[in-house]
Amino acid sequence: MDFSNPNFSPPSTGRDVIFFEGLLPFLMKTSLLFKLSLTAALTVAFLALLINYIRTRRIPDEFVYVDGYVAPGFEPIMDVFRENFAKNWERDGAAFAVYHKGKLVVDIWGGYADLASERLWSRDTMSIAFSSTKAIGAVCIALLVDRGHLDYSTKIVDFWPKFGKHGKSAITVDMVMIHTAGLAHLDETITYADALNPDRMAEIIENQVPHWTPGEKTGYHAVAYGWIVDQIVRRTDPKGRSIGRFFREEIAVPFDIDFHIGLPLELSHRVARLSKTTHWQRFDEILHNPSSVNFTHIIRDIATGGFLYKMGQNPKWMQSVFKMTMNNPDLYVLEQPAALGIGTARAMAKVFDLVLAGKILSPELVKRISIPKRCEYDIVTGVTLPRGHGLTFGTETRRNETFTLVGHAGLGGQNVRFDVENTLSFGYLSNGLKNGFGNSVRTYLPLKKVLYDIISDLRQTQQQSEQSADNNNKVD
């Protein structure tokens, strides 16, 4: 090779230059990608650690406040209740009460009625029951049926002729109670002044066009249910009372029940302050139980302006998901049996203890409302749920025995249930709202589980005792 030739270039030099010219941006890109990948990896790792910390951290025992009473044999319920707070699943406050065979066996509470002001939840703290109020409204309708003032099969036009406009003449009381009336929401904007005026609300309902042919589909009437049920009570009660007054005079006052459909303002200081879930809390709950809420249905509904979206927009001053307006005491006075009942968990459980004891309804009516009427896909909520007479139904199985739970869940974790076979009723209230409804909320589920573990053990003990007594009688 003659390196003295100025025109000479080594054969490999051109290739090397091209190679290195191409390698340089490649290395720069690789370095950038490495940095980005490293950043992404570190971000993912940080988020994983943060999520793990959020999900596994515990509140020190000395900072967990719970109080109340549990009868002998029911102590594990207090342990589970305390654990909800220790895990920070119950971030604000809550109360749980159980009646069994006519006796109050659990009456516990804990956390904060108002976290921001550090006001502890007390024995007499009340909270908004949201849709669990529907179960109380259902008892009011059942009482009117029991007294012969109407029947579930009665057409609403029979006592409210103007209701029949726009194709609503065939709607029965039962269709409203099981959410097949086609009145999932009210289209006309409802002002606060409207809500205070029953005549104006009647006019809005009369002018409403059904969203589907009444009776053909099931679709949750989340808020509209309350306005309609109030009108049914006003028009069928011989005294013409509102549902709030009817409940107060017929049930709450005679039986000393601390629950209100229309709370006097002078009692508003006893109401727990609600808080909605943060994005982190919502995400944590989804990780714990991805099936707790049908998010696919909800997202599709909101994106397309469906029933859930529309019912959430009216009234705008009554919001609890995207913003929280429910802490306004002006709302407490409304007699809205779909969403605004206010009271204690003990009071909710007591109502159905009295129902089971035959002190509010006849045994025949109790039997009637304890049987579901319809079970099909709900076009509003996207779930399939047995319903009947204003109540919803679930089951709990222990030792090859299946028990029916009747009642109604509420937004954010509220629930009230009764079980005819076990002469059992219980109520749960929480002011730190969770994803979805009470039936799937992770603070309620372990309480229900441990309660039925105890009930099952009691049943087994009783059955063994009865078997032993039978054997002794045979020997004698």
- pLDDT score, position 7: 43
How much of the chain, in percent, has pLDDT values that exceed 70? Answer: 86
Q: Is pLDDT at 48 greater than 80 in this prediction?
A: no
pLDDT digits (tens, 9 = 90+) for 428-442: 999 999 887 668 899
Please name which of 98, 44, 56, 101 lies closest in space to residue 75, comparing C-alpha atoms: 98
Q: Which pairing describes strands 119-120 and 424-430: parallel, antiparallel, or unpaired?
A: unpaired
**219 falls in which pLDDT band (50, 70, 90)?**
very high
**404 falls in which pLDDT band (50, 70, 90)?**
very high
- pLDDT score, position 303: 80
- pLDDT score, position 27: 47
What are the residues whose beta carbons fall under 8 Å from the beta carbon of 288, sequence distance 6 or more? 55, 442
Q: Is pLDDT at 264 greater than 70 in this prediction?
A: yes
Neighbours of 83 (CB within 10 A): 18
3-state secondary structure 301-363: HHHHCCHHHHHHCCCCCCCCCCCCCCCCHHHHCCCCCCCEEEECHHHHHHHHHHHHCCCCCCH
Q: Is pLDDT at 1 greater than 50 in this prediction?
A: no
What pTM does this model have? 0.86
Domains, the chain, ordered by start? 118-441 (3.40.710.10)
Residue 460 — φ and ψ, nearest 5°?
-65, -45
Q: Of 1-5, 44-48, 59-63, which range is least confident?
A: 1-5
pLDDT digits (tens, 9 = 90+) for 126-173: 999 999 999 999 999 999 999 999 999 999 999 999 999 999 999 999
Angstrom distance (rounded) from CA 365 to CA 358: 9
What DSSP string runs through 87-136?
TTSS-SEEEEEEEETTEEEEEEEEEEEETTTTEEP-TT-BEE-BTTHHHH
